[in-house]
Structure 1
Amino acid sequence: MLALSVIFLLIGLFLLGGGIWLAVLGGSLYYLLAGAALIATGVLIRTRRAAAQLLYALLLLSTALWALWESGYDWWPLATRLGLLLLLAIPLLLPGNTLRRKPALALFAVWAVTGVILLSSLAYDAHRIEGQLNTESIVSDPDLGDTPANNWTSYGRSNHGQRYSPIDQITPDNVGELELAWQYQTGDLKGPQDIGETTYEATPLKIADSLYLCTPHNWLVALHADTGEELWVYNAQVPLDSQRQHQTCRGVSYLAPGAGTSDAPVGSSSLRTVSREPAGPAHELASKTCDAQLFLPTSDARLLALDPATGARCSNFADDGELDLMHNMPYTQSGFYYSTSPPIVIAGLVIVAGSVNDNYAINAPSGVIRAYDARSGELRWNWDSGNPEDTAPIAEGDTYATSSPNSWAIASADEDLGLVYFPMGNRTPDQIGVYRSPAEEKYASSVVALNLETGQAEWVQQFVHHDLWDMDTPAQPSLVDIETEQGLQPGLVVPTKQGDVYVLNRATGEPILPIGEEPAPQGTIEGDYAAPTQPVSALSFAPSPMRSADMWGASLLDQMVCRIRFQSLRYEGRYTPPSVQGTLVYPGNFGVFNWGGIAVDPERQVMFGMPLYLAFTARLIPRDDSDAAKASNSGEQGINSNAGADYAVEMQPFLSPLGIPCQQPPWGYVAGADLRTGKVHWQHKNGTVQDMTPLPLKLKLGVPGIGGPIITGGGVAFLAATVDDYFRAYRVTDGEQLWEQRIPAGGQATPMTYLNSRGEQMVVLVAGGHGSVGTTIGDYVLAYKLGGEADGAKE
C-alpha cells in the first residue's frame, strides 16, 4: 500500500501545483481540487482508512460529471479526462485489499458506471455531419479544359485545375476491386544532409503512353503508362543547400507539339547572367531543338526545358534549355528563392512564379511572376506585386522589388477569357507588417487575375487584410462554371488556410457566393496595426473559436499542461495578432486547406476537400533578446531570424509535452459541399492513429494530413495525404469510405487517373513521405486498376 500511496501523492502534488498555476491564469479550478483530493486519498491509503475509497469515489464521480459538462458525449475528450482515474481506481478494488469494505461497493458502482459511459461513447461520433450531395448532373456538358479524357496534361488535369476526370469505369460499386497493377521506385531518397522538409508532393502528367513526374531533388522521370517501365531519367544535379525551406517538386509542365510558335530569335532576351557555381553534367544526351517540351522547375532557381521523348535538353529554349530565374533579382542569397510548383503553360507562354523563404530576411528576392516565350525563353512580361503597373520586360540593369509577395502554389488559366489566376502569398517577414507598401498590401494573400497578353492585373480579390499570420492563398484555384439564379457563371473556387472557400466570377472577380466582413482582434507591436475587419465567405470550414475546455492530452497531467500553455498565450479568436507574449494561431499556418486544395465536380457542382484543424503558436522575439541573436533559420518551424527586422519570430505547432496536439481531436476530416449554395452537406473524420503511436492501433481519430484529392466521373474521390500510410477511396455524394490500401510510404501527394492503351482506368499515387510531417520516407510510384496484376514493376 505504501507504493500506491506514493503514486497518489505524486500525481496529486503535480495536479495541485499545476492547478494553482492554472487558477492564477484564470483557468479551470478542477485540477487544483483534483490534486488536493488525490493527496488526501494518498494520505488515507497510508493510514488504511476506508474513507480513501469513499473520497476517491466522490472524485471519480465529480470528474465524470465535469468531463461530460465540458466535452459532451465524445470518446476522445472523455478518455483523456477519465482514463487515468479509472486506472488508479483498480488497485483500490482488488481482492485482498485491506481497504476493501462496504465503501468499496460505492467506488465500484461509480467506477463501473463511468467505465460504461466512456466505452459506450466509442460508438457515437459527435463530430459527424451526415448528408448527401447532388446525385444527378446539374450541368450536362461542363467545360473540363482542353485535356482529352484519357490524359492528365497539367497538375490539376487541365489548366482549369479541377482535379476532376470524366473517366467513369471505377464506381462506388466496383472500387473495392482495385488492386496494385505496378509499382516503381525512383531511387531519390531523403538523405542525412537534406533539410527537414524534403518531400514527395508530385502529381504525374500522362501524355500519350507516358507518365512524367519529378522527385524532391529535381529528377524528371519518364515511365510507360501501362507498365511503369522506366523510359528515361533526367537528373538536374541540384546541389544541397541548407538555406532552403523546402526540398520538393510538385510537378512538371507540358508544351504540346506545334503550340506556342514564336518568330522571336532564340537568345534575344535581355536577361542578365547571374553568377553561380556550375551544377555539373546533368544528362548524357546532347541537347536538341524540341517540338514538344517538358518544363522542370528546380530548387536552385532554374527552369529547364526537356524533350519528352528522350529527356534531352531543348536547345531552342533560353541558354541550351536552361533559364536562370535569379535574373534581375534585387537580392540573390543562395536558397532564398526557387519554384516548388510547376509553371503554367498557356497561349504560347510558360509563366513562372516562385517561393521566397518566409522570415529569413527583410531583404530577399522578389516574388515576381514572369511570362516567357515557351519556345525561345524570351521574357514577354513580368508582373511584380511590389511594382504592379510596370509589366514590360525588365531592362538589363534594373531589378525587381525587394521581398514582394510571391505566388508559390499552382496557377490556373482561362485562355478564352485571356486570364491567368495566381494565388498570392505575403511579403516576408510574414508576421510583421511594417515593411509593406500599399501595392504589396493590395495583392498579398489574395487571388489575382493577370492578362495573358500584357501581364496587367485585371482584378484582385483579397482573403486576408494586412496578413500577420502567414495565411498565404495556398492552393490552385479551380475553374468551374456555376449554375446560379442568373444563369451559368464562369466560376473560380479558391480554398484558403483560414478555412473559407471563395466562389468568385472568374471574369470579374465578383463573388458568386456572398463575402462579408467580420470584426477582428486588435493590438500589435509598436508601429504595426491589425486590420479592423477580415473577409468571411458564405462557404466556410473555419473552426469555432478554441476554448480552454478543448485542450487535450494522453492524461489529465499533460492536458493540464496544455491548459496552462493555452491560458499563457494571447488568444482572442481567429486573427489574433502575433505578440511578444506568444499568440495562439488557429487555424494554424498549416492551414485548414494547403497546397493540395480541393477537387470539384463541374457536373454535380460540388467540391470534395480535406479540412484540417491544427493550432500553431507565434512569438515575436525582440532583436536584443538572446534567442533572436542566436536564431539560425530553422525552416517553417522554430526560430527564424528576420535578418534586418526588429523582431525574430518563432513558429511552432501547439503540442503537449508528449508531442501530440494540445487541442482535442478530430484534427482531420473529409467533407463535401455544394458550390451553388455554400452548404456543407457531410463531414467525416478521416484517418487513423496507426502510424502516430508506438502501438499500431487502427483507431479512426481524424488525423492531420497534407496532400490533395481527385474526383472521377464514376462518383469516386481518391485521397491519401493523412499521416497514416493509406490510400483511400470515398463516395462523393455522402463521403462514405469505400476502399483503402496500405502503402509503403507516406502519400503526401495528389493522385491522378487516366486510361492506359488497353482502355483501362488507372489511378496513380506518388508515395515518398513528407520530411517535416514525419510520415514514412520512400520513393514509390503506385498504379492501381480494377483486378490489377502487379507487372512491370521496377524496384
Structure 2
Amino acid sequence: MSCARTVVPRLLALLLFVIGAAIALGGALLVTLGGSSYYLLGGIAVVVAAILLWCGHRLAGWLYAAFLAVTLGWALWEAGIDGWALAPRLIGPALLGLAFALPPVRRSIGRSGWAPAAAGLLMIVTLAGVGISDSPDRFAAPPPGQALPGGDDAAGAEWLAWGGTNAGQRFSTLDQITPANVSDLEVAWTYRTGVRQPGTKSPLQTTPLMVDGTLYLCTQTNIVIALDPETGKERWRFDPKVDPTGASAVTTCRGVAFHRVPDAADCPARIITATFDARLIALDAKTGRPCASFGNGGFVDLKTGMGVVEKGFYYVSSAPTIVRGQIVLGGWVSDNQSTDEPSGVIRAYDVASGRFSWAWDMGRPGDNREPAPGQHYTRSTPNSWAPMSADEVLGLVYVPTGGSTPDHWGGARSAAAERYGSSVVALDATTGTPRWSFQTVHHDLWDYDVGSQPTLVEVPLRGRMVPALAQPTKRGELFLLDRRTGVPVAAVEERPAPQRPPVSGDWTAPTQPYSVGMPSFAGERLRERDMWGITPFDQLWCRIRFRELRYQGPATAPATDESLIYPSIGGGMNWGGVSVDPERGLMIVNAIYYGTIAQLVPRAETDRLRAKASVAHMYDLPQPQAGTPYGIRLSGLVSPLNVPCNEPPFGTISAIDLRTQKLVWTRSIGSARDSGPMGLASRLPLRMGMPMFGGSLATRSGLVFIGATQERAFRAFDIRNGRELWRASLPAGGQANPMTYVSPASGRQFVLIAAGGHVMLQSPLGDSIVAYALPKKR
C-alpha cells in the first residue's frame, strides 16, 4: 500500500483524523460515565478511515460509508423522526461523506469514494424528508363550542386590571380583529419610555391598563406614564425617583392598578403603584399628581414593620390587587442571600385613605395587626412576588407564594413556612385570615416559587359547574382547585420523591404532588439521548455533562455534588401565567424547557470564594445563603456554545379543553432567527421552540396573541387548532403580557405589547410600547 501524495485527499484525511480522535476521546470519557459507546466506536472508525485515506487505500471509502450507515440507523433509533434531534447527528458526518465524491479523492481511492458520498446524500435526504424546521406538534379535532360560565368577568373595551380583570383570565370579548383579517394588522404607533439605563439588567415587562380613555403603564424604574390610546402620545409622567441600588441586579414593574373613589376629597380616579424602594403610591389618574388624601401626601412607607431592609432586598414587582376596597400586595424578597431577610408578609391598605387594614404574617397566626414599635413581622417567611387574583363575590384574594429564604436549604424553616411555602393561599379580603391553602411543592429546595397568577374559571364537575382556580407552576404541573375550598377538582396524586445524599441540617420531602387530572408541562424525564447540540461535538459535550450530574428525575434535590433541576428554576410556567377563553372552554398554556445545574458549596469555601472575588465576577460565584452550612452555585445546562443541552423545543404553546381536562393541541413556538451560538443571531427562520418569559391573550374572535419568546416577534394563533396566522417583528423581545382595548377616539381595536427584551434570554433590552391595529377605513 503506497500513500497518496495529492493535497485534497490528505487534507480531508487530516480533518477526519482530528474529528475522529476528538470524538473517540470524548466517547471514551462518556463510556466511563456509563454512557453510549457510539461515540467511542464511531470515532475510532473515522480515525481508521482517515489513515486509510491518507494512504490512498480504497477501504477508506467503504469504511466511512459503513460508519455513515451505522450512524443513520443509530440516529433514527435514538431520535426517531424528529428533525431537530436528527440534525446534529447527521449533518456533519453527511457533509464529510459528500466530500469523498471530490475528483481528487476519487482518483486517490477509486470508486469506493462514491459509497460514502451516496450514504451522505441518503442522510441529507432523510433529514430533508423529516423536516428540520418542524418540531413535532400534536393537534386534535376542535372541541364542540359549548361555552362555560365566567365570560361576564372578561375584559371588554377597557383593560381594567393586570390580567384583564381580577379573575386573571387574560380574555377579551373584543372581536374586530379576527382570524380572517389578523394578517392585515399593522403598527399603529410606538412609544419609547426613554428608560435605557446603561449597564442595567432590568427589562421593561409592563402590561398597561386602559381605563376612561387613557393607557397607564410603569417602567422598570417605577416611572408611571399615561398615554393617549389612539396615538401613543404621552399625557403625563410621574417619576418617584427610586434608588435602583441594592442586592437585586434586576428591578421590575409589571403593572399598576386602577380604582375609583367617588367620595374622595381628591383623586376620584386613581392609579396605585409600588416601587423598588418599597413605597406604595396613589396618583390622580387625570394628572399624575400624588393624591394628598392617601397616606402621607400620596405615599405609604412599606418598610414599616419590616425591621432591617437592606437596599434591594424587598420590593413589589407585580401590580397590586384591589378587592373590596383594599389594596392587597406582597413583595419580592432577594433569593439565596440569608436566613435573616425581610418578611414575606401580605398586607392590605385602604384604597381611599392609604391606612393600614390588615396583615397576614404566617409567623404570627391570628394577629393581623402591624407590629408594635420596635418589633417587626416574622423574618424570612415565604413571600409572594407574583400577581394575585381575587373573587369579589366570595371576598377572597388568592396569593401565590414562594419559599422561605434562602431557597435551596430548608433546615431552619418554621412549621408555618413548611405549610404555606410554594402554595396558593386564599385570604379573606377584609381581614387577611387564611381560608384555605394548597401546596404545590413540599419543602421546596428548588426555588419553585409559584410565580403565575391564579386564574379563576368555571368548570363542570359531575354535572354541575364549580367555581375553580387554575394554578400554573414552575414545576410544569397545572393544578385545578375549587376556589371556595382549595380541594382539587382535577385529581392530584402524591408520588415518592427521590432522596438526595445527606445534607447537613436539612431533609428531603418523601413525596411531591402531581396533577394527574390535568396535562403536565414538565416534559419527559431526561435521558442521555435527549441531550442536543448544534454539532456532534457540543452534543457529545452535553451528553458527558449530563452523565456527570446527579439526576434522579423530577424533584432531584441539590446536594454537595452537582445535580440537575428540570424543569429549571425558571419553569415550567413562570409569571406570564395562562389565558382562558371561557366561551370555547379553552385554556392556553405556554411553557419552557431547560435545566438548571445546582450545587451546595460548603460554608467555608463559599465565604473564601466570595471574599477574594471582584464585584464584576460575583455572578459566577456561589450565592451566599448566609446563616446556613452552604452557599449555592447555579448555572444553566447549556453547551459551550451557550445553547440549551436538551433537545428542542425549548418552548411550547398548548390548549387544554377545560370541560374534559384534555390536551387539544400543542406546538413549538419561536424560531432561531434572533438567536444562535454564543448569543449571535443566526437569522434562520427555522421554528424550533424558544425559551420565553411572558404570557398570552385570548379574544372572543378566536385569536391568541403572544410575544414572550427569545425571538423578537409578536404572534397570533388560531385558538381552535394552534395554527400561526400572523407574525410581526418587534424592536426587542416581547417579554411581557399583551393586552387589547378599543380606542374611544376611533372605535378601533388595538393590541399592545411592551418590547423590553430580557438579558436572561440573550434578548437586547428595549424601551418600546408597540400598538397594532387594522388599517383605518378610507
TM bucket (normalised to shorter chain) is: over 0.9
Q: Who is 1:80 aligned against?
A: 88
Residue 474 of structure 1, aligned match among 451, 454, 469: 451
Q: CA deviation at 1:687?
A: 0.8
Q: CA deviation at 1:526?
A: 2.9
Q: Who is 1:280 aligned against?
A: none
Q: CA deviation at 1:16?
A: 1.7
Cα distance change, pair 408–124 in 1 and its aligned pair in 2 (3 A):
closer
Q: Who is 1:531 aligned against?
A: 509
2:587 aligned counterpart, secondary structure: strand
Q: Who is 1:340 aligned against?
A: 317
Residue 549 of structure 1, aligned match among 510, 513, 529: 529
- Cα deviations across residues 281-301 of structure 1 (Å, max 9, x unaligned)? xxxxxxx93222111211111
**Consecutive unaligned residues in structure 2, runs of 5 or more:** 1-8
Alpha-carbon distance between aligned partners in 1 of 2:457 and 2:609, rounded to the nearest angstrom = 49
Alpha-carbon distance between aligned partners in 2 of 1:141 and 1:613, rounded to the nearest angstrom = 31
Q: Who is 2:3 aligned against?
A: none
- What is the TM-score when the length of structure 1 is the normalising length? 0.92
Q: CA deviation at 1:123?
A: 6.9
Residue 583 of structure 1, aligned match among 556, 563, 567: 563
Cα distance change, pair 454–761 in 1 and its aligned pair in 2 (3 A):
same
Q: Who is 2:211 aligned against?
A: 207
Map residues 169-184 of structure 1 onto 2, 5 A cutoff. 169-184=176-191
Map residues 614-633 of structure 1 onto 2, 5 A cutoff. 614-625=594-605, 629-630=609-610
Q: CA deviation at 1:789?
A: 9.3
- Cα deviations across residues 120-146 of structure 1 (Å, max 9, x unaligned)? 11079562111144352423663416x
Map residues 140-219 of structure 1 onto 2, 5 A cutoff. 142-144=151-153, 149-192=156-199, 194=200, 196=201, 198-219=202-223
Map residues 551-570 of structure 1 onto 2, 5 A cutoff. 551-570=531-550
Alpha-carbon distance between aligned partners in 2 of 1:127 and 1:388, rounded to the nearest angstrom = 50
Contact 1:358 1:636 in 2 (8 A): no
Residue 354 of structure 2, aligned match among 372, 377, 401: 377
Alpha-carbon distance between aligned partners in 1 of 2:737 and 2:29, rounded to the nearest angstrom = 46
Q: Who is 2:428 aligned against?
A: 451
The answer to whether structure 1 residue 705 and structure 2 residue 692 are counterparts is: yes
Matched AA of 2:662: K
1:624 aligned counterpart, secondary structure: helix
- Cα deviations across residues 495-549 of structure 1 (Å, max 9, x unaligned)? 1111111111111111111111112101241322211111111212221100000
Residue 489 of structure 1, aligned match among 455, 458, 466: 466
Q: Who is 1:281 aligned against?
A: none
Q: CA deviation at 1:639?
A: 2.8
2:540 aligned counterpart, secondary structure: helix
2:103 aligned counterpart, secondary structure: coil
Q: Who is 1:743 aligned against?
A: 730
Q: Who is 2:341 aligned against?
A: 364
The answer to whether structure 1 residue 129 and structure 2 residue 119 are counterparts is: no
The answer to whether structure 1 residue 656 and structure 2 residue 639 are counterparts is: yes
Alpha-carbon distance between aligned partners in 2 of 1:519 and 1:503, rounded to the nearest angstrom = 21
Q: CA deviation at 1:485?
A: 2.1
Alpha-carbon distance between aligned partners in 1 of 2:364 and 2:498, rounded to the nearest angstrom = 30
Alpha-carbon distance between aligned partners in 1 of 2:81 and 2:688, rounded to the nearest angstrom = 15
- What is the TM-score when the length of structure 2 is the normalising length? 0.94
Contact 2:62 2:116 in 1 (8 A): yes
Alpha-carbon distance between aligned partners in 1 of 2:759 and 2:117, rounded to the nearest angstrom = 48
Matched AA of 1:28: S
Alpha-carbon distance between aligned partners in 1 of 2:495 and 2:440, rounded to the nearest angstrom = 12
Q: Who is 1:726 aligned against?
A: 713
Between 1:83-92 and 1:713-722, the stretch displaced more is: 83-92
Residue 749 of structure 2, aligned match among 740, 758, 761: 761
Q: Who is 1:106 aligned against?
A: 115
Alpha-carbon distance between aligned partners in 2 of 1:501 and 1:636, rounded to the nearest angstrom = 32
The answer to whether structure 1 residue 640 and structure 2 residue 623 are counterparts is: yes
Q: Who is 1:46 aligned against?
A: 54
Q: CA deviation at 1:771?
A: 2.5
Between 1:338-347 and 1:765-774, the stretch displaced more is: 765-774
Q: CA deviation at 1:246?
A: 2.4
- Cα deviations across residues 342-388 of structure 1 (Å, max 9, x unaligned)? 11111111112100011011211111110011122211110123334
Cα distance change, pair 629–390 in 1 and its aligned pair in 2 (3 A):
farther
Alpha-carbon distance between aligned partners in 1 of 2:288 and 2:34, rounded to the nearest angstrom = 64
2:622 aligned counterpart, secondary structure: strand
Q: CA deviation at 1:106?
A: 2.2
Cα distance change, pair 646–178 in 1 and its aligned pair in 2 (3 A):
same
Alpha-carbon distance between aligned partners in 2 of 1:637 and 1:164, rounded to the nearest angstrom = 41
Alpha-carbon distance between aligned partners in 2 of 1:743 and 1:242, rounded to the nearest angstrom = 31
The answer to whether structure 1 residue 241 and structure 2 residue 280 are counterparts is: no
Larger RCO (alpha carbons 8 Å, 6+ apart): 1
Matched AA of 2:673: Q
Q: CA deviation at 1:715?
A: 1.0
1:604 aligned counterpart, secondary structure: coil
Cα distance change, pair 325–141 in 1 and its aligned pair in 2 (3 A):
closer
2:770 aligned counterpart, secondary structure: strand
Q: Who is 1:442 aligned against?
A: 419
Residue 785 of structure 1, aligned match among 749, 757, 773: 773
Q: CA deviation at 1:111?
A: 1.8
Residue 93 of structure 1, aligned match among 98, 101, 107: 101
Alpha-carbon distance between aligned partners in 1 of 2:347 and 2:65, rounded to the nearest angstrom = 70
1:108 aligned counterpart, secondary structure: helix
Contact 2:93 2:120 in 1 (8 A): no
Q: Who is 1:294 aligned against?
A: 271
Contact 1:622 1:647 in 2 (8 A): yes
- Cα deviations across residues 595-617 of structure 1 (Å, max 9, x unaligned)? 00100112222101212111111
Alpha-carbon distance between aligned partners in 2 of 1:360 and 1:434, rounded to the nearest angstrom = 15
Alpha-carbon distance between aligned partners in 2 of 1:230 and 1:635, rounded to the nearest angstrom = 39
2:108 aligned counterpart, secondary structure: coil
Q: CA deviation at 1:637?
A: 7.9
Cα distance change, pair 702–430 in 1 and its aligned pair in 2 (3 A):
same
- Cα deviations across residues 289-337 of structure 1 (Å, max 9, x unaligned)? 3222111211111111111111111111112111121111133111110
Contact 2:26 2:541 in 1 (8 A): yes
Alpha-carbon distance between aligned partners in 2 of 1:692 and 1:399, rounded to the nearest angstrom = 47
Cα distance change, pair 765–628 in 1 and its aligned pair in 2 (3 A):
farther
The answer to whether structure 1 residue 601 and structure 2 residue 608 are counterparts is: no
Q: CA deviation at 1:447?
A: 0.2
Matched AA of 1:529: W
Cα distance change, pair 63–335 in 1 and its aligned pair in 2 (3 A):
same
Between 1:635-644 and 1:343-352, the stretch displaced more is: 635-644
Between 1:240-249 and 1:472-481, the stretch displaced more is: 240-249
Q: CA deviation at 1:186?
A: 1.1
- The alignment's C-alpha RMSD in Å is 1.9
2:18 aligned counterpart, secondary structure: helix
Between 1:521-530 and 1:420-429, the stretch displaced more is: 521-530
Contact 2:56 2:109 in 1 (8 A): no
Matched AA of 1:184: Y
1:99 aligned counterpart, secondary structure: helix
Q: CA deviation at 1:712?
A: 0.7
Q: CA deviation at 1:783?
A: 1.1
Cα distance change, pair 364–626 in 1 and its aligned pair in 2 (3 A):
closer
Q: CA deviation at 1:562?
A: 0.6
Alpha-carbon distance between aligned partners in 2 of 1:51 and 1:21, rounded to the nearest angstrom = 28
Q: CA deviation at 1:788?
A: 4.9
Alpha-carbon distance between aligned partners in 2 of 1:218 and 1:100, rounded to the nearest angstrom = 71
2:46 aligned counterpart, secondary structure: helix
Cα distance change, pair 484–467 in 1 and its aligned pair in 2 (3 A):
same
Alpha-carbon distance between aligned partners in 2 of 1:628 and 1:150, rounded to the nearest angstrom = 58
Alpha-carbon distance between aligned partners in 2 of 1:320 and 1:417, rounded to the nearest angstrom = 33
Q: Which consecutive aligned stretches of 4+ in structure 1 deviate over 4 angstroms post-superposition? A: 123-126, 631-638
